[in-house]
Amino acid sequence: MCEPTSDLNLWIEDFLRKRRFSKYELELIGNTTKGDGYLGEVAFVKVLTGIGRQEEKTYNLVIKSAKKSDELRKKTPIKEVFEREMFMYNSVFPAFLSLQKENAVEDLFMKFAKCYSVYKEPQREAILLQNLKHLGYEIHDRTKPQNLDHALCVFTNYGKFHALSLAMKKQHPELYSKLTKDMSDLLLNFIIQANMLDNMTDTYKAALEKLKKDDEKAYKKLANVDQDMIKMNLTKIRDPKDGLSVILHGDCWNNNMMFKYQDASKKKPTDMVFLDFQLSTVGSPIYDLSYYLYSIADENLLKYHDLLLQTYHRSLVSFLRELKEESINISLEDIKRHWIEYGKFGLTMAALIVKVELSEVDEVVDIAEVAEAGDLNDTFNVEIKNMDDYDSRMKAGFRHYASLV
């Protein structure tokens, strides 16, 4: 068991004071392992309240707190990403819930943790959340690709999540405009501020080069790579001409979702939740879908791309009907067209993220240490032990996207 920090005690005491508890017992269960987060620390805490009274209550909490490194804060938008997640929990999600209640939705979409408190003090930014592990949810092994059942579950739930934005735009346009007007693209800001465009260009080019001898036709379709192209791939279009734009999850890799399973095999999830909304912004739904799919898929899963898009479209349209929005006309062809237009975003992110996912614990970078030592540009420009798996996954993604264009 770990010793709680002074900040942790301050956050817990404030949390309990608001609930009129003065006596409590605090147990720090543990922290995330290296590689599970880059701009923050995560602590798992068990709090027993109401000691000596009849109404004893236990809170199982996750406390996300921002890294304090001055150098890291100069080179990355730590303050902004924590404020963005606070905004999602305090403003966007309550608005989504109200929208569903207005439309008498029976099965409310609330696929994220309950947020208990947020703290905005500079260098002490923190968010107190419900620990979903105690409800039976767990993170899929990041070193393994997800299977079709997982992907169907995720695409179904992204369909519902994105439907909420589309319905709100139609029913409450002023509210939607107010919620989204300041939702800048923090992921792109992060990459530019951290001086990582060179690194991401080199990583993408190196991954693509491995495709050349295996599939020259696919390689030639994607070969014109330079920093301007990578920046263009990563730049989200907020307002596509056809209006198909939503509030995005934003950071859709393996560790930012949890699953519940029906048996110990963990092959087929029965439910899921989304985690980490620090990079939420606005844009085509394909920014979420392509980021997710290309970062978790192997060659076998990518064969089911059409089925996944059909599943997403069916879920999107069905939930729009539940939200009393049958006039919004989005076809499956619209979704496919958006994938061709915006899917390179996910492919570009995958070149970096798949390497992170396949890194072993001793290979994981401590980004704060790197920031203290100097430039973040070469942070992920490294060979890993699982390069064969990395090359295989990336070649499958490149082949898949090339087959669409």
Mean pLDDT per 10-residue section of the chain, whose length is 405 residues: 70 88 84 67 90 78 92 91 98 98 98 96 94 96 97 98 98 98 96 92 95 95 95 96 96 97 95 98 98 98 98 98 94 98 98 94 76 69 90 98 97
Would you state the pLDDT for residue 361?
87
User: What size, in residues, is the chain?
Assistant: 405
Distance CA 86, CA 244 (A): 25
Would you state the pLDDT for residue 36?
57
Token match 């930014």: residue? Answer: 125
Would you state the pLDDT for residue 54?
62
**DSSP notation for 27-59:** EEEEEPPTTS-SSEEEEEEEEEESTTSTT-EEE
Look at residues 113, 101, 111, 105 and name the one whose alpha carbon lies nearest to residue 153: 111
Question: 222 and 401 in contact (C-beta within 8 Å)?
Answer: yes
Kindly report the CATH number that applies to the domain delimited by 78-112+140-404. Answer: 3.90.1200
Token match 């949810």: residue? Answer: 137
pTM of the model: 0.95
Amino acid at the residue 251: D
Question: 168 and 96 in contact (C-beta within 8 Å)?
Answer: yes
Q: Is 1 helix (H, G, I), strand (E, B) or coil?
A: coil
**DSSP notation for 351-392:** HHHHHHHH--GGG---HHHHHHHS-STTTT----TTHHHHHH
Would you state the pLDDT for residue 53?
66
Distance CA 54, CA 57 (A): 9
